């Protein structure tokens, strides 16, 4: 754990007042009976309630099979199709209701009804099949926030081809790595899309990625307008033309085993290579649907807007799978919140009369900085608001509550991860009071706990900081790291489990976060304990950044430290030692920034590049990033006695201060 004493910690985390959920919310909530905690908490049968929210082709024989830990199985021998559950099953009751409400950069609007979605998903599924995609083939999808993205995902799910969506902001190199790592023979992309009103030629990234990957995938591309814009290779297949050949075709949803993978989602970890988190079909969809229902309080007649990007797990679970499984109307917006003006979000909320709004603390801090005059201009009325992805400071929470929620909406602060598939720590909004800055209590059936570095469990609700673990398995936990069971075990289980045991009770999932549980049982998440940063809610591995920087030939060594940032939460500072004879210059800085953009993406751009003579290292040569973090954040230097040269951090600090 961090070198902070519990007393210091207590002092920093001043307790906050509670806020009651408004009576008008409580009266209509999906989860209004506290018995849900006990019922779902009945392990493992309690989770059957979640699975029963779905339509199954065949019911499961066994809820949970823990015989081969940590390879747990859920709803064993059950069969279902995710696309059927998100589309077909709603046709009887609401075929003319909007499923996806898309707002384009220029104010274009598309209302895709469930019937439209059914037609489009079927045609795309037929097209993919005709191009050779078979059950279990991994399809890489590199699409921005356009309807083609959920349509392609659901088409893949329909034919049992796991998708691997790569966030559109990732670079060609990052795309290439993910295609290779997922053994994927198909890439679905688009000619371009709009960012701050400007057309970005997105397909270039695929062109470049093809030169950088080992595989030779087939490329299919959608077009942002009726005809392709820009320069598109003749080797690629235009999806719109292809769909012409499959008009009105219907594809029977493939009955998938509950344990068959639905998708891969790559995420950053402590090594240079991102991990492909593999999610199962049955348990994942059941848990995404149930948390959408009970935590987000989604009802079919709602207009629900999660302003995340589908390219991250939040969008998978809470724009596409959860909301559509419940048959609601889910809003998608193509561009940034400040384009063409800073009231854009509220303008859309008013236009569609959004009931439930879901965003990140980074966005809330940005809205707060812009000022309340923007939301005040528009007439919208949220019943429910969510934050996700980072800790939210009480100040930002209170602003969100007052100026966006009008002190009349509930807020849930949801803690979870790419690996967990759905919310694990969050209040059920009608059943618990809100406490600014706290994620709240554990979700039903979830058993978080804290352990010290030796793995000893802390007293529950002790107010002490520890490593967050999850004791019992849950249905939407990742199945494994794609193609790398060993990495799955070493990353998530080895530290706090008895790995020799066949008893699932001896296995604890390590979240990688530090947390505190206050006396009232509420959890506060303190942030990552491993070498993972959280930049504007985007997860980035420091090693990934370092390996990108090291690609620059002039760089001898690099270390990345997370600097706290009032808006983005954290930003990367890069400390660089240049090779002999290379002089520090703005040109070299620029080269380093470009390397990060090339290897990962523009969103990962370093905030500062600091040239130093040496890095703080232990005697065994390990870089002490924590000391650099102290320097970046203007904190006292932690323990330096184990350093090979204890004067190094002080020298760096003086240099940083004088810059």
Helix (H) / strand (E) containing 230: none
Q: Among residues 533, 608, 615, which one has the least CA distance to residue 573?
A: 608
Of positions 171, 189, 223, 417, contacts ligand WTA by CB under 6 A: 417
* Interface mask toward ligand WTA for 138-157; x: CB under 6 A: --------------------
| Residue pointed to by tokens 């009266």 | 27
Q: Three-state secondary structure along 312-333? A: CHHHHHHHHHHHHHCCCEEEEE
Min separation Cβ 105 and ligand WTA, Å = 25
The nearer residue to ligand WTA, 189 or 268, going by C-beta atoms, is: 268
The nearer residue to ligand WTA, 315 or 649, going by C-beta atoms, is: 315
Min separation Cβ 386 and ligand WTA, Å = 9
Core vs surface per residue 333-344: b (16+ CB within 10 A) or e? bbbebebeebbb
Min separation Cβ 222 and ligand WTA, Å = 26
The nearer residue to ligand WTA, 66 or 572, going by C-beta atoms, is: 572
Number of residues that bind ligand WTA (CB under 6 A): 23
The nearer residue to ligand WTA, 66 or 315, going by C-beta atoms, is: 315
Can residue 415 be called a binding residue for ligand WTA (CB under 6 A)? yes
Burial of 353 (0-12, 13-18, 19+ CB in 10 A): exposed
Min separation Cβ 267 and ligand WTA, Å = 5
The nearer residue to ligand WTA, 382 or 415, going by C-beta atoms, is: 415
Can residue 424 be called a binding residue for ligand WTA (CB under 6 A)? no
Structural contact between residues 13 and 525, judged by C-beta atoms closer than 8 angstroms = no
Of positions 228, 527, 601, 649, contacts ligand WTA by CB under 6 A: 527
Can residue 604 be called a binding residue for ligand WTA (CB under 6 A)? no
> Helix 172-181 to helix 586-599 angle, to the nearest 10 degrees?
40
Residue 578 phi, psi (nearest 5): -85, 160
Can residue 438 be called a binding residue for ligand WTA (CB under 6 A)? no
Min separation Cβ 205 and ligand WTA, Å = 21
Q: Among residues 170, 166, 201, 165, which one has the least CA distance to residue 601?
A: 170
Q: Output the DSSP codes for 462-514.
A: -S-EEEEEE-S--TTS--EETT-HHHHHHHHTGGGS-TT---GGG--EEEEEE
Reading phi first (left if > 0) and then psi (alpha if -120 to 50, else beta), residue 226 is in alpha
* Interface mask toward ligand WTA for 537-556; x: CB under 6 A: --x-----------------
Of positions 85, 171, 223, 414, contacts ligand WTA by CB under 6 A: 414
The nearer residue to ligand WTA, 126 or 320, going by C-beta atoms, is: 320
CB-hemisphere CA count at 13 Å for 135?
12
3-state secondary structure of 372: coil
Structural contact between residues 77 and 62, judged by C-beta atoms closer than 8 angstroms = yes
Can residue 83 be called a binding residue for ligand WTA (CB under 6 A)? no
Min separation Cβ 61 and ligand WTA, Å = 32
Can residue 525 be called a binding residue for ligand WTA (CB under 6 A)? yes
**Contact window for ligand WTA (CB under 6 A) among 237-245, 311-319, 471-479, 640-648:** 311-319
Can residue 279 be called a binding residue for ligand WTA (CB under 6 A)? no
What are the CA-CA distances from residue 81 to residues 57, 141, 157, 300, 605 (Å)? 8, 20, 7, 20, 39
Residues that bind ligand WTA (CB under 6 A): 267, 312-314, 388-391, 413-418, 439, 511-513, 525, 527-528, 534, 539
């Amino acid at each position: 754990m961090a070198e902070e004493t519990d007393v210091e910690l207590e002092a920093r985390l001043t307790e906050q007042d509670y806020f009651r959920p408004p009576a008008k919310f409580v009266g209509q909530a999906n989860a209004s009976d506290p018995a849900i905690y006990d019922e779902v908490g009945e392990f493992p049968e309690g989770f059957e309630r979640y699975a029963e929210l779905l339509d199954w082709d065949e019911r499961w024989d066994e809820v949970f099979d823990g015989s081969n830990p940590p390879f747990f199985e859920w709803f064993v021998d059950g069969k279902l199709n995710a696309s059927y559950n998100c589309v077909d099953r709603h046709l009887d009751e609401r075929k003319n209701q909007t499923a996806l409400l898309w707002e384009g950069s220029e104010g274009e609007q598309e209302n895709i009804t469930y019937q439209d979605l059914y037609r489009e998903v079927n045609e795309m599924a037929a097209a993919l099949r005709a191009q050779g995609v078979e059950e279990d083939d991994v399809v890489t999808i590199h699409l921005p926030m356009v309807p083609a993205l959920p349509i392609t995902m659901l088409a893949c799910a329909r034919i049992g081809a796991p998708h691997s969506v790569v966030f559109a902001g990732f670079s060609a190199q990052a795309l290439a790595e993910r295609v290779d790592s997922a053994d994927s023979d198909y890439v679905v992309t688009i000619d371009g899309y709009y960012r701050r009103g400007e057309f970005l030629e997105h397909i270039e990234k695929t062109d470049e990625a093809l030169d950088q990957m080992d595989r030779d995938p087939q490329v299919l591309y959608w077009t942002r307008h009726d005809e392709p814009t820009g320069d598109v290779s003749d080797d690629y297949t235009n999806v719109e033309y292809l769909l012409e050949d499959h008009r009105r075709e219907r594809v029977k949803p493939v009955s998938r085993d509950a344990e068959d993978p639905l998708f891969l989602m790559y995420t950053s970890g402590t090594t240079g290579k991102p991990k492909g988190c593999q999610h199962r079909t049955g348990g994942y969809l059941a848990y995404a649907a149930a948390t959408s229902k009970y935590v987000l309080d989604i009802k079919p007649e709602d207009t629900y807007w999660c302003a995340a990007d589908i390219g991250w797990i939040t969008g998978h679970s809470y724009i596409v799978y959860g909301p559509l499984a419940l048959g609601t109307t889910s809003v998608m917006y193509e561009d940034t919140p400040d384009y063409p003006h800073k009231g854009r979000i509220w303008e859309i909320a008013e236009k569609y009369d959004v009931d439930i709004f879901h965003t990140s603390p980074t966005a809330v801090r940005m809205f707060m900085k812009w000022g309340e005059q923007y939301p005040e201009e528009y007439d919208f009325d949220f019943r429910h608001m969510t934050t996700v992805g980072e800790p939210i400071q009480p100040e930002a929470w209170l602003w969100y509550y007052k100026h966006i929620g009008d002190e009349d909406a509930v807020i849930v602060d949801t803690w979870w991860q790419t690996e967990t598939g759905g919310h694990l720590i969050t209040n059920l909004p009608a059943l618990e009071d809100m406490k600014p800055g706290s994620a709240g209590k554990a979700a039903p059936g979830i058993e978080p706990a804290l352990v010290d570095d030796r793995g000893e469990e802390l007293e529950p609700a002790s107010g002490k900081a520890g490593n967050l673990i999850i004791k019992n398995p849950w249905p939407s936990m990742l199945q494994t790291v794609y193609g790398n069971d060993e990495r799955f075990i070493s990353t998530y289980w080895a530290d706090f489990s008895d790995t020799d045991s066949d008893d699932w009770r001896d296995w604890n999932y390590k979240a990688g976060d530090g947390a505190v549980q206050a006396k009232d049982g509420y959890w506060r998440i303190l942030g990552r304990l491993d070498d993972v940063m959280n930049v504007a809610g985007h997860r980035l591995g420091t090693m990934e950044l370092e390996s990108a920087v090291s690609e620059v030939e002039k760089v001898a060594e690099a270390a990345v430290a997370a600097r706290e940032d009032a808006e983005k939460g954290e930003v990367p500072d890069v400390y660089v030692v240049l090779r002999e004879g290379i002089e520090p210059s703005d040109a070299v800085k620029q080269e380093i920034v470009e390397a990060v953009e090339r290897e990962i993406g523009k969103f990962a751009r370093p905030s500062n590049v600091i040239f130093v003579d040496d890095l703080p290292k232990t005697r065994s040569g390990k870089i002490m990033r924590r000391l650099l973090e102290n320097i970046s954040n203007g904190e006292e230097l932690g323990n330096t006695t184990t350093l090979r040269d204890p004067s190094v951090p002080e020298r760096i600090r003086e240099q940083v201060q004088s810059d």
